[in-house]
Structure formats: C-alpha cells, structure tokens
Structure 1
Amino acid sequence: MTGRGHRAALPDGDHARPDYVTTNEQGGLVVRHYNRHGQVLEFDFSELPVAPPMQASLAALFAARCTPAYWSVHRTSKTAWVHLRSFAQFLAQQQRPPRDLDDLTPELVRQWRSSCDYMCWIVIAAMLRADARLQAGHAADELARRRKPARSKVQSYSEAELGEVRKAARRQFRSALQRINDNALHLQRWRDGTIAEGSRDWVIGEGLDLLARTGALPKYTDKNGRLTVKGRYRIAFGGSSGAATWQRLFLTREAAAALGVLLMAEFGWNLSVIDTLAVPVASPDQGSDGHPTYHISLEKPRRGPGRSHETRNVTDHGAGSPGRLITQALAATRFARAIVEETAPGTNRLIVWRSNQPGRPQADGDRLPPVGPFSFGVHSDAGSTWARAAGLGGSPFRRGRRTVVALDRREPAQHSQETHDRAYVLPDKRVQAQAVEVIAGGAEDAAARARTVVLVAQVRDQPDPGDVETATADCCSPDDSPWPSPGGGCGASFLLCLACPNARVHAGHHPRLAHLHEALGSLRSVLPPAAWAADWRDAHERLEDLRERVGEGPWTRALARVTDADRALIHHLLTGNLDE
C-alpha cells in the first residue's frame, strides 16, 4: 500500500525476489548480499569452523540483514563477516564446541564477551538476539548486557594544523577552479565566433567544445597499437596528457578530494555525507540583493530508514561565506555534471571528477558506478592519497570533522546531542584542555557569588497581619534580632532589614525600595568610591538581588507608584534621622 492507502503498483511479471541463501558446488550454504546499487557479494558459510547446524543458524541470521533496507552497503556486511568468523573460531576452540545456538550457555557468552572487542560484541550479540532461541533465558540475559564502548583515539587538530589543511585544500581546488573558468571563457569565445578560424586558439576552442560534449578528445590508433590524441589537438594543446587536455574543464581525483576537505572544514560534514552529496538547488527567488540561497539535501544512511535525510539552506553572501563554496563547487563541476546528466539522467551528484584511466574496473561495489570517464564523490582512499601528496600525513576527514564539530561549531552536525557530547566533545584532549580554564573561571565566579551580599529577607505576595512594619520591610520577630541592642529589641539600621532572616518583603514595600535603589545609585555618582562602598554598597546589592527576583517589569511599575510619604521616609533613612 502507498502512504495514501492506494494499492501499490506490482512489479513486472518476470520479477522475482533475489535468493539470499543458496548452496555452492559442495552443498555448503552461501549468503548473497545485494547492496543499494544491486551489486552482489557472496559469503560462504561452509568456511566457518563450526558444525553444520550452527552454520545454518548463523547463515539465516546473516541473510536476514543482507537486504538494501537493512545493510545497504557491502562494507557493513564485510565487517560483520569478519566478526562472525572471529565468533566461529572462538566456538571452535572450546573443549566441547556447541553444535547450534541453543547450546550456547551463559558462561560461554560471558567468556566470549570478555575476549572480543567492543564492535565485535555489538554486531554479533545483536545478530544472535534475533534468533528465537536466544530471546529468553540466561544466555539471552548475557547477550543483552551492555558494554562500555572503547574510547576513540582520534583527536582534533590544533588551530595551526587545521589551518594548514584548509590552506592546502584551498590552494589545490582554487587552482583547478581558475583553470576551468579560464578555459570556459575560451570555449565561450569560440562558440561566439570571436576567435579567428584556423588559429591555434581556434583549434583549442574546438577541442574544448569536444571535451565539454564528450569528455575526451578524438583519438586514433598509432602504429604501436596505442590510442593517441589526434595530432592537430595534440599540437594545439601542447601535448596529450591529462594536464594538457581534459583537466582544462574537469576536476581530477585529487582536486575533488580537496573540494571534499573544504566542505568538511566549512560545514562539519563527515565523509559519507560529502561522498554522496546531491547537487544543491538554488532558490528561484534570489531577492533584491541577488545572493543565491542553496537548498542542500544530506544523506546519513546509518540513522536508518526514515531518518537518513535532512536539508540545509546556505546563502552565498560573497567571499568567505559558506554559500560561496557551494557556488564554486557548482562552477568547477558544471561541465562534468552536464555530460553525466546527458548520459545517465538523474544521477544528481555534486562532486564529479574525470578519471585518468577511464574504463578501469571499480573495486568498490558500494560506490555509484562511473558514467563514462567520470566518477563521483570522495573515497576514503582519495582522502589519504591527497593528504600524503600535500605532506599532511593521514586522511584529514575524521580529525578535521572532530575539530570543526567540537571546537569551531560547538554543536551537533548530523548526529544527536548525546553523540556530540559523548563521541566528539568529552574524549577530545584539546576540548579538555580548554575546559580547565572554563571550569576554573566558573569556580572563581561561584566563589565570588558566595561572597556577594544577597537578599536574606523572605519575599512574599501578601503581608502577614502579625508582622511589625519597619521602614524597609515587615519583621516577624523584633525581639529575636541577629543584632540585638543592649536595652533589648533590634539594634540594627533599617538598611539591614533586607539582610535579616526575620524580615518579610511584599508588594507594598516595592515602591519605596525601588526609590531607595535609585537614591543609592545617585549617591554612587557623587561620593568617592571607597566611601560609597563602605556605607551603601551592601544595601545596594541586596536591592539589586530583590529587583532580579521581582522582575524588571513589576519593579519599573513599582517605581511609578512611589508616593511623597515614601520619598520622605527614604530621605530620613539616608540622612540618619531614623537611627536616632
């Protein structure tokens, strides 16, 4: 059924569900994994050193995951197969190896759990829990136990290191972009007929037109049986190498990797997102300023069905803005994308580059197959190769993403806040080093706040009839003062009422206290700082505390309700007349 309740269209009559489990020539079980591109990879379970019933059970569990809806790439099934072989070898080493899954004991599960690494446990335990025989009982309880993940060893770059990575990527990509733009202008001049026919520049323009339409220059087979660029183009272009010919309009694998590094450094995307990035769509209405806003679709397959897609909007405000990099990426790949769209409509990939060896078989079946001489995205191997050529060591994508997400952006990117904190922020040594200063500053601030004079009197909505009114508050126990007088009662100034636990402040006191707050502020502007601090600072800070509790709006309204009697009372209080 479709989402609206209509019956879905049936597949063609010759359609058949692929066989995920089959047998080899010797009768052993083989599981086939079809990835999202329809490529198949086979796993021979007869190779596992366990009894045939155990092989059959493990094959059934493995096959249940070998669908594009569950395991969409071969990389996942290959990893799971490595862990499964490790599990099978562990079972085979036991004194009495179990013949099937129902022979697994809690002790055996605990022993295996302590001997394998975290990922092996997570992958195989999840697979085993899908078997009905291991969904209840003591062995099932052991399989359900959580295990603390290993700490990531990947650390962020220093500011200088990430700067070097950015600089190297920017230098290579901008050089390629400038080359493509310059040749695009030459091609446009040729198409406009402004270049003298028959000249060298005219032949170059003709060759660029062929490259823009087909991706290659015409070739012939020489006397040695090798394909060679036709002489007129070879002479005009100054050679037949890629640098002299097709690189004039297309990115190389290395330049595409440099673009991927810049996208990582700008947006904090990981390599899997960059690798499959679709062509961003510019808003049809660019506004009065003419700045394009791009709608970018991102794919994160590991989130699972229904949660793997999200979108971003970025605007090209000019040089240095995030959207400018998108504009440049579109410009650098425009000729390659046009040929790919003509040859394979709907491919819709942003990062397209031309191979120096078109037609070479692609070893990784998880990647989008090449279209003619053009390949897509940035493979992890390309990142490592680019880094080595730039003298930067290993691939910059994991360390770079950690640096951008944890230290530059300081917010999640295609992952949850929990993952951001647990996997990116807390394990990072650079974040930890920066946190020392923040924690110390927080401790000092807390200590300073503890030493700050604050309001002690209770704040209430209504007065209590049993309380005694004073100049600044009501008192619930005048005879039990923290500052008793020699003759009994309270010997403190009325300014100390707000520092007394016996005091009660309600809305009726707010107007005169707001007026007192203003009066103390006025005194601050005319008295020497030391004198004001000695006589009036504590009272002013208590009133500041009260104002924060009451709120700015009610405090302002209370100030508007000050009466002449309030003003006279505060005047007498400040001049000391009430202390006599």
Structure 2
Amino acid sequence: MNAPGRRAALPSYDHRTPQALLPDSLVVRHRNSRGEIKEFDFSTLTVAEPFQRSLATLFAARCAPQGWSTHVSSSKYWRHVSYFADFLAAQPETVRDIDDLSAAVLRRWRNSLPLHDKQRFTRMAFLLREDPRLQSGAVADELLRRVRLAPSSTQSYSDQEFTRITVAARRTFRTARKRIDANALHLQRWHAGAFAEDSQEWLLGEALDVLARTGLVPEERKPNNMASEGFLYVAADKYQKALGGAKAQFTWQRLFLSRMETTALAVLLMAQFGWNLSVIAGLAVPKASPDPGADGQPTYRLELDKPRRGPSRHHETRNVTDTGAGSAGRLITHALQATRFARSCVAQSAPETDRLMVWRTGHRGPLKVSTDREQPVGVFRFGVLSQDASAWAQAQGFTGSPFLRGRRTVLAVNRREPAQQSEQTFDRSYVLVDRRVQRDSVNVIAAGAEAALTQARNTLLVAALRDSGDPDHVETATADCADPYASPFSNSADLGCTASFLLCLACTNATVHPGHHSRLAHLGAALNNLRSALHPTVWQREWAEHHARLEDLRTRLGNAVWEQALMRVSDADRDLIDHLLHGMLEA
C-alpha cells in the first residue's frame, strides 16, 4: 500500500530487477532504497583489468536489494576499495587478480593502517571473503583475522549537561509551537469572519490563508542585483504592515518550523526515545488510534525504519500514548501540531510523501540533497542532518552535535538497553567503554555483592559442625541449641526462641553432630519431593532457603557420609520430619 492508503500498482509481467553490473561493463550502478542510482566506475582503479572486474563483481553483489540500501554505504565501501587498489599498485609484487593476493600482502596492508582506521581492513576483508577463490587457505585465514579497533572516544553527558541540552531544545521548540498555534487561531477566526474586511487583522488572516495553502505569503517581485535571478521576492506592500515586516519571522515562520526549530524537535525525540538521526529523519507521520477511548488520550502508532539492523529487520512499530505533559505521546502530539501546515502543503504537491519532520526553508533556489534522503518539495525540506545539529548546538552555546553523546546517554546511562544494535554490540560499544557507566557501576556492583553476601549468609549453613553432642545443649528437631534465650530470631529473651526448627541451621547458637545426620538427610529428600509437587513459585518462597542450607551441609559432609545417613533413617526420624513439615512442632 502507498502512503495515502491506495493499493500500489504492480510491475509489468516482464519486470526484472535491473542489473548492477552488465557483462561487458566495469561500471556498477547502485540503486538505493529510494530508487535513485549512483554509478561507480571500476575502470578508474589503479589495478589490472582482471582485478578491476573481480572487485566490480563483488561490489555489485552488495548492491543487490538485500545489500546496501543507501548510497552512503556504497560510497563508503568505494573509498575503501580505491584505497586498497592504490596500496596494491605501490607494492613490489604484481597482483593481476584476486588469485595473486598473498597473506604477506594483506598483512602488510593491515599493519600499514593506523589504529583509528582499521575499519578499512575489516570492510575490505568483508568484500573479499565473498569471492569463491578466497574461501580457504592462508589468504582466507588472514581475511578472517580479528583486528583491534580504536576504542570509541564518544562519552555520555553528565546529568547537568544533558538537562541543559534538553531544556534548550524544549525552549526552542515550545516557542515555535506557540507561535504557530497563535497564528493558527488567528487564521481560524478569519475563516469564521471575526474581523472587519480590509482591517489589519483581516489582512493578516488573508495572508495566513494564502500561506497555509501555498507555503508563501502574498508576494511581489522586485529587482535586486544581489539575488541569483535578479529579483527579490518580498511580501506584497498591502500585507507588510499587517504582517509586521518582510523578514522570515514575520512571514512564513508564522505557520512553519525553521531548520533550527526542527533540529530542536529532533533533539527532544532523541532524548525521549533514543533514536538516531536517520530514524528521526525517516519517521513517517504517526497514526492515532481510531478509538482513543473515553479519556480522550490518543495512542499513536510509530513506524520506525532502522536500516542498521540488517535485511528483514529494518522495520519496527511502537505504540505511545499521550497521557499528559511530559509523556512520550505528548511530544508526538506537539510534533504533529507544529508540522500540520507544512505537511498539508507537501500533501498537495506530493501526496505520496509521508514524513513527520518537515520544515520550510527561506531559499528559493535549487538545493543539493543527498539521494538517500527525501527530496525537497518546493520550499519544504525533510529531516535533520548532522551539520544541522552542530549548527543548533553552536547557536545554543554547546560544542558539537548532541546526537552521538546524547543517544549514548539515553541508551547506556538512562535506559541501559539496546535500541538498534545487538546486546553484544550494545555492551561492547556503548556500556563497557563509557566512563560514566563505569563510575556508576562501582556502587551498583558493590550493592550487588553485598546483597549476594547477605543472601548467601541467609541460605548457607550457619550452625557449627561437631563430632559429638554437648550434654549442656538443648536438642531440637534439626540440631542442638546452646542457648534458646539468646536467639537472633526472637525479639524477647523471656519467651525464648520462637522461630521454626527449620531455621536452626541458620542460627549461630546451633550445633550439628552425627546424631542429626540421618534426620537432616531425610529432611533434604522430603524437600526434594515437595519441589516436584508444588508450584515453583510456592516452593521457592517457602522451602528454597531451607533446602539450600541442607545442600550446603551435604557438601561439607560429603556425599558418602550423606548417603550413609540416608541408609540409617529410622521411623522416629521419619515421624519427626513429617511433624515438622506439617507444622505440628511449631509453637
């Protein structure tokens, strides 16, 4: 289905996927996911013609639909291929084709690369390994060799830094949204006939009406030597007073976001969801649930495109609900409100375009846009670039684009969960290398160790092991007690110990000698039987700690002693343990 919901047209019966490399050509044509084509001429490489053809064949295989989806990816690999070809051309060995590659040449190439640029080897090795001639042997082993890459220098923000960035973005976007809402209200009142005709309020309403329908305020052309076409487009004199001036903030910015305001919105989306720029730029207009419910809180369905996940895993959907101020759904509501006029104008000229992040530019001339991005529609642009983020940050007094560090802060520090990467990549590239996570983990690890120690003390044997009993001790169902009135489990020394006999093994006053072994071994067997009869949750809650102490006792005594104890179990031991498990010995 296409964006408006009409069934897309099927290709003709004789349709064939265009070939990336024709049989008699060395030019690879990469068609990206948008259908745009970029050509790479392998005849320009500084290697022999057979090697050019081999490299072109490997490259073309990655340009298939299940391979690279963007020209950014293919262009990056093309640079690595060119660099590799230049390296081979400078070597004393003659390498006419892939067959002539040696492990020594590959090792020399890998060692020549600086640590921060080892990806040139790993990516080129990824291509070469696809050749059938390099599936085994010394060269294949060299291509499979793990390469130590330079650790990432990107670190997360502190709480204070991240708060300042989000506050600045919220301030920028909120100002823009309120401006658009105020002008939208004025336009609504104009449509309702609230203003006297030809009054300043009425003229402003008429100008806004034209702006909402065309993206332009009523204009006229005036000669200007500085303009590229020799003319300058300005608001018509009739409307300039009502608008308040001819500058952008008085004209088209009344209903549309600017580039920097859209960047601020992108920063808020990154801070809320942890998305990167490519996901935000490609975000389709969220659809609200057809039945928002009696509370009137809309739930939006977000359709995300995440190319880095690999083929068949690009797409993901997520539902978010507008539950009020500060919620993820409220941010989506505000984004829809702020872009509604821009999206309406785009829909008139390009109804198949369905992008949330749309903004208006003040430039009328042609603008070079990457073939991987949504192409401009008139004066409207889509998405945000990294240079836009850097420009916004500089204007706000920050250094560099906030997206890399900000996304690391959201995922590695705040959420501790991966977004577009595997758990292994997330741990290796985000969590373990982040200094803030390392500092915060010290207290977490210490708390975990303390909890584990406490749990171990609670579940392991505390009672002392003796070779024989002490006549001064009091016998219990599971051990001997040195002092029932000094129990750690009782709040009153006058009453003596009121704890279950099952806790005797966890008491510092208790001792265990061979006279107890048979009944304790029988108790362990009885708890194992209960485990098979009870629900796991119930057994874990009621009996797991007692069983763990008996297992610890078994480990200390040894299996041989424990098995002999089981063979000596008497009827008195069985009755005693039966009464204990049925609660008949409790106070």
Describe how 1:360-379 pairs up with structure 2 within 5 A: 360-379=366-385
Q: Map Cα deviations across residues 424-476 of structure 1 (whole Å, 9 max, x no partner).
A: 1111100001111222333344445555684479xxxxxxxxxxxxxxxxxxx
CA contact (8 A) 1:250 1:332 kept: yes
The residue type paired with residue 58 of structure 1 is: L
2:44 maps to 1:47? yes
Contact persistence 1:129–1:140 (CA under 8 A)? yes
User: How has the CA–CA distance of structure 1 residues 121 and 189 changed in structure 2, closer, same or farther, with 3 Å as cutoff?
Assistant: same
Structure 2 equivalent of residue 407 of structure 1 = 413
Task: State the partner residue of 2:160.
Answer: 160
Q: Pairwise mapping of residues 284-299 of structure 1 onto structure 2 (< 5 A)?
A: 284-299=290-305
CA distance in 1, matches of 2:579, 2:380: 74
Task: After TM superposition, give the deviation of residue 151 of structure 1 in Å.
Answer: 1.7
* CA RMSD in angstroms, aligned pairs only: 3.5
Q: Once the 2 structures are TM-superposed, how far is the Cα of residue 271 of structure 1 from its aligned partner?
A: 1.3
Q: Tell me, in whole angstroms, the C-alpha distance in 2 between the residues paired with 1:402 and 1:103.
A: 44
Structure 2 counterparts to residues 153-552 of structure 1, below 5 A: 153-224=153-224, 225-448=231-454, 454-455=460-461, 482-484=466-468, 492-495=473-476, 497-498=478-479, 524-527=490-493, 539=504, 541=506, 551-552=540-541
Gaps of 5+ in 2: 1-8, 225-230, 509-522, 528-536, 545-577
CA distance in 2, matches of 1:434, 1:199: 63
| Unaligned segments of structure 1, at least 5 residues | 1-7, 458-479, 501-515, 571-580
Separation in structure 2 between the aligned mates of residue 301 and residue 406 of structure 1, nearest angstrom: 21
In the TM superposition, what whole-angstrom CA distance separates every residue of 1:95-117 from its partner, at most 9, and x where no partner exists?
12311110001222222223333
Matched-pair contact (CA < 8 Å) for 1:221–1:228 = yes
Shift of 1:349: 0.5
Alpha-carbon distance in 1 for matches of 2:507, 2:490:
15
Name the aligned partner's letter for residue 230 of structure 1: A
Q: In 2 relative to 1, CA 378–483 (structure 1 residues): closer, same or farther, beyond 3 Å?
A: same
SS at match of 1:187: helix
Answering whether residue 92 of structure 2 is matched by residue 95 of structure 1, we say yes
Q: Is the 8 A contact 1:388 1:394 kept in 2?
A: yes
How do residues 17-32 of structure 1 correspond to structure 2 at under 5 angstroms?
18=18, 20-21=20-21, 29-32=26-29
How far has the Cα of 1:57 moved from its partner?
1.5
Q: Quick check: 1:383–1:395 contact (8 Å CA) kept in 2?
A: yes
Other-structure match for 1:136:
136
TM-score by structure 2 length?
0.79
* Distance of aligned partners of 1:559 and 1:241 in 2 relative to their CA distance in 1, 3 Å threshold: farther
Distance 1:345 1:9, change over 3 A: closer
Contact 2:478/2:502, CA 8 A, preserved across alignment: no
Q: Where does residue 467 of structure 1 map in the other structure?
A: none
After superposition, the Cα gap between the structure-2 partners of 1:223 and 1:150, relative to the gap in structure 1 and judged at 3 Å, is closer
1:57-100 deviation per Cα after TM superposition (whole angstroms, max 9, x unaligned): 21222222234542221111111111112111221121123111
Q: Map Cα deviations across residues 526-546 of structure 1 (whole Å, 9 max, x no partner).
A: 3499x989xx99838459x99
Deviation at 1:177, TM superposition (A): 0.3
Distance 2:51 2:120 in 1: 18
Measured in 2, the distance between the counterparts of 1:540 and 1:16 equals 77
SS at match of 2:246: coil
- Cα gap change, 1:496 to 1:92, in 2 (>3 Å): farther
Q: Is the 8 A contact 2:487 2:507 kept in 1?
A: no
State the 1:361 CA deviation: 2.2
Matched residue type, 1:175: T
Residue 571 (structure 2) aligns with: none
* 3-state secondary structure, aligned to 1:42: strand
Cα distance in 1 for residues equivalent to 2:372 and 2:246: 33
Structure-to-structure mapping, 1:114-125, within 5 angstroms:
114-116=111-113, 117-125=117-125
Q: Give the Cα–Cα distance (whole angstroms) in 2 for the partners of residues 549 and 17 of structure 1.
A: 60
User: Are the structure 2 counterparts of residues 141 and 435 from structure 1 closer, same or farther at C-alpha, using a change threshold of 3 Å?
Assistant: same
Q: Distance in 2 between matches of 1:414 and 1:96?
A: 43
**Letter matched to residue 245 of structure 2:** G
* Aligned-pair CA distance for 1:223: 4.3
Alignment check: 8 A CA contact 1:286 1:293 kept: yes
CA contact (8 A) 1:301 1:308 kept: yes
Query: 3-state SS of the aligned residue for 2:320?
Result: strand
How much does 1:227 deviate?
A: 2.7
Local SS of the residue matching 2:490: helix
Local SS of the residue matching 2:136: coil
> TM-score w.r.t. structure 1 length?
0.80
Output the CA distance in 1 between the equivalents of 2:207 and 2:147.
Answer: 62
Distance 1:177 1:528, change over 3 A: farther
Deviations 1:493-541 (A, max 9, x none): 32494489xxxxxxxxxxxxxxx9xx979x8343499x989xx998384
Q: 1:220 to 1:22 in 2, by over 3 A?
A: farther
Q: Distance in 1 between matches of 2:450 and 2:135?
A: 53
Change over 3 Å in CA distance of 1:90–1:495 after alignment to 2: farther
- Taking only the aligned residue pairs, the percentage that are identical comes to 49
d(CA) in 1 for partners of 2:317, 2:579 = 49
Matched, 1:84 2:81: yes
Alignment partners' CA distance in 2, 1:560 and 1:90: 79
Give the superposition deviation at 1:350.
0.7
Which whole-Å CA distance do the structure 2 matches of 1:253 and 1:82 have between them?
31
In the alignment, which of 63, 68, 75 is matched to residue 66 of structure 1?
A: 63
Q: Which secondary structure does the structure 2 equivalent of 1:153 belong to?
A: coil
- 2:151 counterpart letter in structure 1: R
Count of residue correspondences: 509
1:197-236, Cα deviation, whole Å (9 max, x unpaired): 1110101100111111010023222244433321112222
SS in structure 2 of the partner of residue 311 of structure 1: strand
CA deviations over 1:41-67 (Å, ceiling 9, x no partner): 232323322122212221222222234
AA aligned to 2:86 is Q
CA distance in 2, matches of 1:100, 1:228: 62
1:34 maps to which residue?
31
- For 2:430 and 2:94, the matched residues in 1 are separated by 41
CA distance in 2 between counterparts of 1:526 and 1:42 reads 87
Q: Quote the offset at 1:32 in angstroms.
A: 2.6
Cα distance in 1, alignment partners of residues 152 and 249 from structure 2: 41
